[in-house]
Each structure stands twice: as C-alpha cells, then as structure tokens.
C-alpha cells in the first residue's frame, strides 16, 4: 500500500483544513472588532518617588540629615537601579526619584515593601522630619483629563459638582482610578489684633491652650444599663463662626472673661493657593480617569463621553466640561490611520501579484493574504496581544512576507505542470519539496526579530516586545497556509503551467523582466571578478550612506496637542508665575488654530502620556496643555511661537514642548560628579560657557538652580535661655505671624474647614514687622519682640542640591532650537568639554539623548549579533557546511546599499525603528539566498550539473519567485513611507529600498559567488 504524504493527506481531507481555516478567520474578524486597543504597548513604569518633609531645614541640612540616610536605605534594595536614582534636597523638602532595574516586572510589589520599610526608617531620622512617603502613583497614566470650569461658581460648588460626576463615572465597569485635582479649600482665619492682646493682657499662647483643651478628648464613653449599651455622643464644640467668636480664651477669679472675638477678627475665605488650574482663563478643577488594563480604550472613551454628555445636559449652564487629554480619541485616530495603511498595503500586494502573474495563479496567492492575516489576528486575540501601533506596524511589515511562501509553492507548482506532472501531484510535491527551504526561511526571519524582545531593556523592550511576537505568529501561520491550504487551492484553480498558458498569449511584464535578467546574468558570469567587486563596492557605499545620515533615537509624536513649560527663578512667588501664564493664555486664545488652553500654575498636569513625567509642585513653575485643530497645526504653532515667545518674558524661560518618545529632560545633559560644591559650580560654569557658544543652543541651565535668598535669625542664646525663650517658642510665634498655625477643624457636614491662627496680611510683609513680632514664653507668660533676643540677617542657601547614585551631581542641560539634530550638535560640543582640566575627585559623563542612544543601540547591536548567529545555525542545519551558510548570509551585506540610500533620499534619520528595519531586512534577504542556493544544490545533485551551470540555471529559474516575493514585501511597506510617519517611515524605507536593491544584487552576484566559492570537496558534502 502506498504511504500517503502528510501534505497530500491534508489535500485529500481538505474539508478538515478548510473548516479550521474558516473558524480561525471568523475568530480573526471577531478579534479585529473587539480586541483591546491602545496607542502603545503597556509600559511598566519603573520610576517612583520618595518624598521627605523637614520643615525649617535648609537645603544643606535636608541633604546631610535626611537625603543621605534615605539614599543609603534605598540602595540596600537590589531592585533599585542606583545609577539612575537621583535626589533633590530643597528648602524643607527631599525628593528622591527612584528608578528600578529593567528586570523588575511587578513594580507595585516592590513599592508596597518599600513603604513599610520607610515607616521604620522614619523613626531613625531627626524628630523634625514630619513625613516620609513613597509613591509609584507618579507613573500612572490618565486615559482622559477632563476640566470642570465656571465663571461664577466657587471652588466649593465646583467640587460638589465634580463629586457628582465621579459618582456617575464610577458606574463604568472598566474605569480604574478616579482622581480630582485643583480643589481649593475654604478656611477660617483668626486674625490676631496685637493692640487688643495688649489691652486685655492676653498672650497668643492663651488662644492655643483654649483650643487644645477643646480638642483634647472626644470620646465620652458608653452607658450599660443591663439591657442596652448606649454610646454617649457630644455635639461638636465648634459648628460655625459664631461658636469660634464666643470661645473664652481667658477668665479670672472675679468672673471677667475675654472671648476670641475681643482680640481677633474672624473671617472665612479660601486658603492662599499653592497652585491653581484654569481652563481658557476660568477657574477649573481637573478629573483624571484611568482605565483597567486589558480593556478596549476606544470603547472606554465612548462610555465616558456618554456620561459626560448626560451630565452636561443636567448641570448648570455655567458649568463647562472640556476633555483636555483624550487618549481614546488618539488611539482611535491612530488605529484607524494604521488600518487604512494596512488595507492599502493588502490591496497593493494583491495588485502586484495580479499584474505580474496570470489571473488564476495570482488569485491563489492573493487569497492567502487575507486568510493568513485574519488567522493571525485571531491567534493574537487568543494569546492576549492588544491592537496598537506596534502590532499594526508589525502586520504591515510582515504583510508582503505572508504571501511569499504561497508564491514560492505556487511557482514550483506551475513549473511541475510545465514538466508534465498532473495538477494533483504538482500540488503536493511542490509543497513537500519546498517545506524545508520555506521552514528555514521562515525561521531565519523570525530569528532576526526574536532577540529584540530578549535584549532590549526597560521601556524600549516593553515598546518593541510585541513586534517580533506578531511577526512570528504571522509567518508561522503563512507557512502553514502555504503548505496545507495553498496546494489544494492550486490543484483546484491552476490546471496549466505558465509555458502552456503563454503559447497563445502575448509576453507578460514578468517575461520581459526574465529575458532582460537572463542576458544580464550571463554577462556577470563572463566577468565574475567585476561582478564580485561591484558587490563589495555596494557594501562600502552603503556604509558611507549610513555615516551621512543623521542620528535621532526617537522621533516626536504626531498629536493635536502640545505642552508649554514655564520656568522662573527659584523663590519666585506664585503671583509672578500666574502673570506669565495669563499673558501666554491671552496670546494662545487669540489663535484660531488652538481649540483649548488648560493652565497649571505652581504645578504640572497629571501624567497624560506614559513618557511625559509630571512636574512636582513648585511656585516658580507653570504648564499649559494646548489642544490644536490638527497635527499640522501643532507643528506650525510650535515653529512660530517657539521663535517669538521663548524669551519674551523677563527672567522666565518658556519651553515649547512637542510630545516625544523620550524620557530625558534635555537632549544634551552634562553630568558633573564631585562632593566639592565649589568644584561642581566652577566646572559647571565652564561647561555652560561651552554650550552657550553654540548658536543652535537656546537654553542652558543646571539642576542646582539659583542660590535662594532667605533670612537668618541669629538668637542670643544666653539671653534667650535666661529669659526662658527656647528655639521652639520662637519658631511657633513666627509661624503664627507668617504662615498661620492650624488650631482645629470645623466640619460642615462632610466638608472640613481648617481654622488658622495668624496675623493680618499687612503686618507680615516688612522685615520690621518681623523684628517687632512678639515671642511668647509659656513659662514666664511674658512676651518680648524678636529684636530683643535675636538679630535678622540676610542669607543665601542652595536652591537645590542634587545627588545621583549617592554622589553630589550638577547636571548642565541644554535645549536646542527646533529642527536641529542633537547628535550633530553633541559631536561638535563634546570634544571641547572633554578637554577641560578637571580637579581631583571630579568626573563628567553625559546623559540626555547620548545616554539613551547608547542604552538602546548597544542592546540592539547585541540583538543583531545574536540574530546573525541564530540565522547562521539555521543555515548550517539545512546546508551542512559553513561555507554555504556564509555564502547565503552574504546577501545581508548586499542590502546595506539600498537601506542607506533610502534613508538619505527621503531624509529620515537613523532611528530606533530604522535599526529594527535593518534587523528584519537581514532575515528577508536571507530567504532569497536560501531559495536560490537550495535550488542550485538540487541541480548539482539531481541533474549532475557543474557549479557554474547550476549557479547560472538557479539564478534564471529562481528569479521569478525571488522577484515576486521581494516586490510583494517591498510594496507592502510603501504605505508606511507615504504616511511620512516619523516613527514608522524609517522602518518602511529601510525595508523597501533595502529589499529592492538587495534583490537585484542577490540575483546578479549570488549565483556568481556560488560558482566561485565551491570546490570538488563540496560535491561530496552536497551528496552526503
């Protein structure tokens, strides 16, 4: 009995294969409609912050007494990446930005453990440290940011409305965290009247004591009468301002009493703001919404929009809702754009096959494309891969490749028909004979991409991780379709070979190409040395092309949105920052290209982009989040205002920031390490001078900020001790006079109102008022002006002390004018900085784009090397000789010319995605080598041809499948190029140009190399 071949068996039982294909295609259709969608893959944010509050301490005291101890503790954790962990020690505050190692997958687990440890550490710190908090919410990204604004309503009324909106949004099952920002609390201020205190001989300490007694004990016990246990509840002592006014603060045995209203003015108003939020000039609150992982963000956006529309219908006309950051809309537009490109790519590949092949032959190849793609989408849904621009880019990249295997099998099928085989035998034999070459070629392409997900660190690995997985799934599916489904379709639809069809037909485009190629190939065999030399020259020229191309790791994002950052000198008041923001708002609102302006004064916006870290509160900082009518309008506005408004305000620097796939603060960062502050500042000044000489540099600054002015109180210790005045008494008295001292909290329902003891505003603005401030002693019950026990002197302290990896570090940062490439400018600046004479113990390294490039290109180069090794072993397994494996791998080098030329012609920089394109290109061109060399080997073994004859014949015979597959893959990425996407355009360019030129050079040079690289010994190896 004849033993049935597995592939022939699949043809006989085609019902099973077809049924499985239809089911998987239906799953794919369901997947494309319902798969979770996002703009980018889900990033693991490996950064968090530890904040320490140390009131009254200078930046130097914060560093020495708090920061160093916290750093030592943090560095005891193996998960912490010390080289990337840095701290800021400011007046009364420490902030440590903690970076975790790239191998940390569960950041929440680490932060839970760290928070418990920080609670224990706080007990070892100075008593003045009032808080030590660790948080990784810093990395949470909002899906939507919504402003609620009003021209008439108070902040309290807006807060009530915002709480109502929160309640409605919580009903959405896919919503995660809901956070509100910008609330301003009402407070009751008790303004002391110094003249009344003197008149009634009452001290501020009497007021403090009276309120502390009221708050001392709230629990009143329970009454157990044997039947019931009845808790005892006393009403709140203070329910309104009248209760406060009637509070007795002094009484004597004669019955004389002094009430609070006798010595103070009591007023209720909003607290003095530390930060403000406005939308289009109106006071606003911001609602941040996060989505639970694994959901469809586009659907989430629709559900939120429905809630917002319904809420707006029922809300007062004065309450306006504006979505200032809409990630669902961005994802919808991005995915829709990519789906259009994907559809164009499918159509383009089908058209190419239809033009170059007879209709029936082309139709079999064309049918395999949607079959492979839909099954791929079905598998992606099953394994939990989301639909985002990375997976869609992978599908577009691989689109031309999924038809390649089918084309190779079909081509061999029609050849066998021309040789006299029956359609049935031609179908299963073509798939059987080509299974190993197809498998090797498929594995080679997968091997070229696979190491990317293994070697790329951190966020770059998260970003690109799904790219090789998607390509791997698509290629495996296309291979299975080519050997299981395509043979049956070929049997059903293709009954005659190309030669039989062409007897009564005009020559096709492919026939003319074949004839021209045959003549050119024969010419190369007549001049083998010149042919090989031309190949070597193409490699050298390609290398020169790459050296001429600009380098830029990550491009800017295409968004109808950008940010403006406003920086003023350290110590600047919030009102000055607000004035600058007001002026910018006025300019922007008058521009018809701008649809909305949200302003954050004294703070940054919540994180609305995974790669744009929020700015921590600072009164000298402001941010505007600007929405525009289109992506093109964003670029126009940035180019225009970036030139005219960057330095338009005295002492303020305005940074016009286009969102980008980058995490560094400035493109050029020079880090100077030393524990000697004088050396740091001296070298920092020299580095700044070097940077400022470059005309493309627009803003040079350092992270130590300006020296901060302050007032030093020099207390006469002996006199103060003799009169019973401790430092704490001086401190508390000054707090009352300046910031105000919290006394108690008055509850109006569920709304807390803090009660603050302070002085009138006009009594605390002048230094004389400070000198005349009375200091109270609870021991002697006497009051003396501050000048009698102390002296006020001006002082200057460090605005900020930065440490990185536990060492004092001053980082000089420089921004570049729009349009300039960082790598070019850095190359001109670095030699001059490296030439500086450095003091002992001081060192310099570079951050910014230079560091990011090294951190990403180094593992990518390793990935490339591993890919080459994997491909080498795949070829060794198939061809059994090192020489043959190296011969086929030479095709990788032949594609360099086209890849470099394409980037140069289309003026794309050599970027992260360009590198991915080169990695993929290697596997694709190796496939061409496998197809050609494998056939040449068969001719030597089965037909007894010489190596010269086999090389020539293999080139002529394999020209058609190599040309068809290469053109299909090249045409498939053309929509990427046409889109002008700064992210994916370089990848498409590298693959398209590299494939076309690599194909031409491979077809002309590889047959000659095959002939010249063989010897008599190879015949034995081939036969064996």
> How many Cα atoms sit within 13 Å of 159 on the Cβ side?
12
Residue 251 pLDDT class (50, 70, 90 cuts) = confident
The stretch 396-406 carries a mean pLDDT of 81
pLDDT at residue 197 tops 60: yes
pLDDT at residue 38 tops 70: yes
Most confidently modeled range among 112-116, 719-723, 960-964: 112-116
The helix (H) or strand (E) run that includes residue 822 is helix 822-834
Q: List phi, psi (to 5°) of 668.
A: -120, 120
Query: Over pLDDT 90: what percentage of the chain?
Result: 36
Residue 504 pLDDT class (50, 70, 90 cuts) = low
* 8-state DSSP, 614: P
CA distance 68 to 390: 42
Higher pLDDT, 443 or 743: 443
With tokens 């959405």, the residue in question is 172
Identify the sign of the CA torsion 480, 483, 487, 488. Answer: negative
pLDDT at residue 253 tops 70: yes
Q: List phi, psi (to 5°) of 317.
A: -60, -25
Higher pLDDT, 771 or 298: 298
* 8-state DSSP, 590: T
Structure tokens at 922: 């290697």
Q: List all residues 6 or more positions away from 9 whose beta carbon is below 8 Å from its beta carbon.
A: none
Chain center to CA of 832:
33
CA distance 927 to 268: 78
The stretch 1005-1016 carries a mean pLDDT of 82
CB 982 within 8 A of CB 890: no
Query: Which whole-number Å values give the CA distances from 208 to 78, 758, 1005, in the listed order?
Result: 48, 12, 93
CA distance 934 to 884: 10
Predicted confidence at residue 73, as pLDDT, reads: 95
Higher pLDDT, 69 or 798: 69
Higher pLDDT, 345 or 772: 345
Predicted confidence at residue 781, as pLDDT, reads: 59
CB-based burial, 90-114: b 16+ in 10 Å, e otherwise = bbbbbbbbbbbbbebeebeebbeeb
pLDDT tens digits, 890-919: 889 999 999 999 999 998 989 888 988 898
Q: List all residues 6 or more positions away from 48 whose beta carbon is below 8 Å from its beta carbon.
A: 97, 98, 100, 107, 111, 134, 135, 136, 138, 139
With tokens 């629990």, the residue in question is 219
- Cβ-based burial of 644 (10 A; exposed 0-12, middle 13-18, buried ≥19): exposed
Alpha helices in 383-497 (DSSP H): 389-402, 404-418, 423-449, 451-455, 458-464, 466-480, 486-493
pLDDT at residue 300 tops 80: yes
The stretch 718-731 carries a mean pLDDT of 69
pLDDT tens digits, 360-400: 888 888 888 889 989 999 999 888 888 888 888 888 888 77
pLDDT at residue 355 tops 60: yes
The stretch 768-789 carries a mean pLDDT of 68
Predicted confidence at residue 763, as pLDDT, reads: 57
- Measured torsion, CA atoms of residues 120, 126, 129, 133, in degrees rounded to the nearest 10: -30
Mean pLDDT of all residues in the chain?
86
Q: List all residues 6 or more positions away from 678 whose beta carbon is below 8 Å from its beta carbon.
A: none
The stretch 482-494 carries a mean pLDDT of 89
Predicted confidence at residue 946, as pLDDT, reads: 87
pLDDT tens digits, 69-128: 999 999 999 999 999 999 999 988 999 999 999 888 888 889 999 999 999 999 999 988
CB 107 within 8 A of CB 30: no
* 8-state DSSP, 100: B
The stretch 856-869 carries a mean pLDDT of 89
pLDDT tens digits, 118-165: 999 999 999 889 999 998 876 678 899 999 998 888 888 899 999 999
Structure tokens at 222: 């329970």
Predicted confidence at residue 744, as pLDDT, reads: 83
The stretch 492-514 carries a mean pLDDT of 71
Predicted confidence at residue 764, as pLDDT, reads: 54
Identify the sign of the CA torsion 791, 795, 798, 799. Answer: positive
Give 52's strand partners: 94, 132
Nearest to 271 by CA among 189, 177, 368, 362: 189
Higher pLDDT, 388 or 61: 61
Give 321's strand partners: 148
The stretch 618-626 carries a mean pLDDT of 92
Higher pLDDT, 462 or 177: 177
Q: List all residues 6 or more positions away from 209 whose beta carbon is below 8 Å from its beta carbon.
A: none
Q: List all residues 6 or more positions away from 748 whose beta carbon is below 8 Å from its beta carbon.
A: none
Predicted confidence at residue 779, as pLDDT, reads: 60
Q: What angle do CA 781, 784, 787 make, to 5 degrees?
A: 155
Alpha helices in 180-223 (DSSP H): 194-199, 204-215
Residue 808 pLDDT class (50, 70, 90 cuts) = very high
Predicted confidence at residue 1016, as pLDDT, reads: 52
Helix, strand, coil: what percent of the chain each, to 5? 55, 20, 25
Alpha helices in 696-811 (DSSP H): 717-723, 727-737, 767-771
Predicted confidence at residue 1, as pLDDT, reads: 42
pTM (two decimals): 0.82
The stretch 21-35 carries a mean pLDDT of 88
Query: Which whole-number Å values give the CA distances from 607 to 84, 140, 287, 458, in the listed order?
Result: 20, 7, 12, 19
CA distance 305 to 289: 12
Predicted confidence at residue 396, as pLDDT, reads: 82
CB 733 within 8 A of CB 197: no
Lowest mean per-residue pLDDT among 270-284, 288-302, 342-356, 634-648:
342-356
Predicted confidence at residue 214, as pLDDT, reads: 66
- Helix (H, G, I), strand (E, B), or coil: what is residue 89? strand
Predicted confidence at residue 202, as pLDDT, reads: 78
pLDDT at residue 685 tops 60: yes
Predicted confidence at residue 229, as pLDDT, reads: 85
- Cβ-based burial of 818 (10 A; exposed 0-12, middle 13-18, buried ≥19): middle
CB 669 within 8 A of CB 847: yes
pLDDT tens digits, 209-233: 777 766 655 677 788 778 888 888 7
Nearest to 258 by CA among 321, 310, 210: 210
* 8-state DSSP, 55: T
Pairing of strands 282-291, 144-149: antiparallel
Question: Which residues in 584-703 belong to E strands, given as ranges?
Answer: 594-601, 621-628, 653-657, 668-673, 697-702
Give 791's strand partners: 714
pLDDT at residue 1023 tops 90: no
Query: Which whole-number Å values give the CA distances from 400 to 240, 325, 372, in the listed order?
Result: 75, 36, 11
Angle, helices 404-418/359-382, rounded to nearest 10 degrees = 150
Give 86's strand partners: 97, 804
Q: List phi, psi (to 5°) of 90.
A: -120, 180
CB 563 within 8 A of CB 611: no
Nearest to 107 by CA among 62, 45, 20, 28: 45
Predicted confidence at residue 679, as pLDDT, reads: 94
Higher pLDDT, 237 or 668: 668
């Amino acid at each position: 009995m004849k033993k049935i071949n597995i592939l022939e068996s699949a043809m006989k039982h085609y019902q099973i294969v077809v049924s499985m294909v239809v089911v998987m295609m239906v799953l794919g259709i369901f997947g494309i409609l319902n798969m979770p969608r996002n703009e980018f893959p889900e990033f693991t944010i490996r950064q968090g912050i530890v904040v320490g509050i140390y009131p009254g301490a200078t930046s130097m005291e914060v560093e020495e007494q708090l920061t160093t101890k916290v750093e030592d503790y943090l560095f005891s954790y193996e998960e912490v990446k010390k080289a990337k962990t840095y701290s800021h020690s400011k007046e009364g505050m420490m902030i440590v930005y903690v970076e975790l190692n790239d191998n940390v997958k569960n950041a929440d687990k680490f932060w839970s453990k760290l928070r418990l440890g920080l609670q224990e550490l706080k007990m070892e710190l100075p008593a003045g440290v009032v808080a030590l908090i660790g948080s990784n919410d810093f990395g949470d990204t909002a899906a939507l940011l919504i402003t609620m604004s009003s021209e008439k309503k108070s902040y309290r009324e807006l807060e009530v409305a915002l709480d109502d909106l929160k309640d409605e949004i919580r009903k959405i099952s896919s919503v995660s965290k809901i956070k509100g920002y910008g609330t301003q609390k009402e407070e009751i201020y008790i303004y002391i009247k110094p003249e009344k205190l003197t008149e009634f001989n009452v001290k501020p300490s009497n007021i403090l004591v009276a309120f502390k007694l009221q708050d001392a004990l709230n629990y009143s016990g329970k009454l157990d009468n044997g039947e019931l246990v009845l808790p005892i509840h006393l009403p709140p002592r203070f329910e309104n301002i009248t209760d406060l006014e009637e509070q007795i603060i002094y009484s004597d045995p004669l019955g004389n009493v002094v009430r609070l209203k006798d010595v103070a003015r009591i007023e209720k108003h909003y607290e003095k703001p530390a930060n403000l939020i406005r939308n289009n000039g109106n006071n606003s609150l911001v609602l941040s919404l996060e989505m639970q992982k694994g959901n469809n963000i586009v659907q989430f956006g629709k559900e939120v929009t429905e809630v917002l529309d319904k809420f707006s219908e029922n809300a007062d006309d004065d309450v306006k809702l504006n979505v200032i950051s809409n990630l669902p809309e961005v994802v919808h537009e991005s995915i829709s754009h990519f789906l259009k490109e994907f559809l164009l790519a499918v159509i383009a590949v089908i058209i190419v096959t239809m033009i170059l092949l007879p209709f029936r032959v082309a139709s079999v190849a064309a049918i395999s494309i949607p079959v492979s793609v839909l099954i791929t989408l079905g598998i992606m849904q099953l394994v939990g891969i989301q639909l985002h621009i990375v997976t869609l880019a992978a599908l577009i990249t691989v689109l031309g490749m999924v038809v390649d295997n089918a084309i190779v099998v079909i081509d061999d099928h029609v050849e066998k028909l021309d040789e006299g085989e029956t359609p049935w035998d031609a179908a299963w034999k073509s798939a059987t004979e080509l299974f190993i070459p197809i498998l090797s070629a498929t594995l080679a392409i997968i091997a070229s991409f696979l190491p990317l997900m293994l070697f790329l660190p951190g966020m770059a690995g998260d970003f690109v991780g799904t790219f090789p997985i998607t390509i791997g799934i698509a290629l495996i599916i296309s291979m299975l379709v080519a050997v299981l489904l395509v043979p049956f379709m070929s049997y059903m639809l293709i009954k005659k070979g190309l030669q039989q069809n062409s007897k009564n037909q005009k020559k096709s485009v492919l026939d003319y190409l074949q004839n021209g190629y045959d003549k050119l190939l024969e010419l190369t065999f007549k001049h083998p040395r010149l042919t090989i030399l031309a190949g070597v020259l193409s490699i050298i020229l390609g290398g020169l092309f790459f050296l001429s191309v600009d380098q830029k790791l990550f491009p800017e994002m295409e968004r109808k949105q950008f940010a403006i950052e406003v920086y003023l000198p350290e110590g600047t008041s919030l009102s000055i920052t607000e004035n600058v923001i007001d002026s910018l708002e006025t300019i922007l609102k008058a521009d018809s290209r701008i649809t909305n302006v949200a302003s954050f004064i004294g703070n940054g916006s919540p994180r609305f982009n995974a790669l744009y870290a929020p700015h921590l509160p600072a009164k000298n900082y402001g941010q505007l989040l600007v929405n525009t009518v289109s992506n093109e309008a964003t670029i126009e506005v940035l180019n225009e205002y970036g030139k005219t408004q960057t330095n338009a305000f005295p002492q303020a620097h305005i940074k016009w920031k286009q969102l980008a796939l980058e995490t560094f603060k400035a493109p050029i960062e020079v880090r100077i390490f030393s524990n000697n502050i004088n050396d740091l500042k001296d070298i920092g000044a020299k580095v700044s001078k070097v940077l400022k000489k470059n005309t493309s540099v627009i803003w040079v600054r350092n992270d130590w900020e300006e020296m901060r002015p302050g007032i030093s109180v020099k207390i006469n210790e002996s006199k103060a001790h003799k009169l019973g005045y401790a430092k704490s008494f001086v401190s508390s008295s000054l707090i009352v006079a300046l910031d105000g001292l919290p006394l108690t909290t008055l509850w109006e329902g569920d709304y807390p109102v803090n009660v603050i003891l302070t002085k009138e505003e006009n009594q605390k603005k002048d230094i004389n008022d400070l000198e005349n401030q009375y200091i109270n002693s609870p021991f002697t019950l006497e009051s003396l002006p501050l000048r009698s026990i102390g002296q006020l002197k001006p002082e200057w302290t460090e605005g900020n002390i930065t440490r990185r990896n536990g060492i004092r570090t001053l980082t000089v940062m420089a921004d570049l004018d729009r349009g300039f490439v960082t790598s070019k400018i850095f190359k001109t600046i670095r030699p001059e900085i490296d030439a500086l004479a450095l003091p002992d113990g001081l060192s310099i390294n570079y951050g910014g784009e230079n560091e990011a490039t090294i951190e990403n290109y180094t593992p990518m180069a390793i990935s490339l090397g591993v890919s080459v090794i994997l491909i080498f072993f795949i070829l060794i397994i198939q061809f059994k000789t090192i020489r043959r494996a190296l011969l086929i791998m030479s095709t990788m080098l032949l594609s360099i010319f086209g890849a470099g030329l394409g980037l140069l012609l289309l003026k794309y920089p050599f970027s992260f995605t360009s590198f991915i394109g080169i990695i993929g290109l290697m596997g694709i061109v190796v496939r061409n080598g496998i197809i050609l060399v494998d056939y040449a080997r068969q001719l030597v073994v089965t037909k007894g041809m010489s190596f010269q004859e086999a090389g020539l014949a293999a080139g002529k015979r394999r020209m058609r499948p190599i040309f068809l597959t290469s053109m299909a893959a090249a045409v498939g990425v053309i929509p990427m190029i046409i889109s002008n996407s700064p992210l994916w355009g370089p990848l498409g360019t590298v693959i398209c140009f590299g494939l076309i030129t690599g194909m031409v050079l491979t077809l002309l040079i590889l047959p000659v190399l095959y002939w010249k690289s063989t010897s008599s010994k190879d015949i034995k190896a081939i036969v064996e």
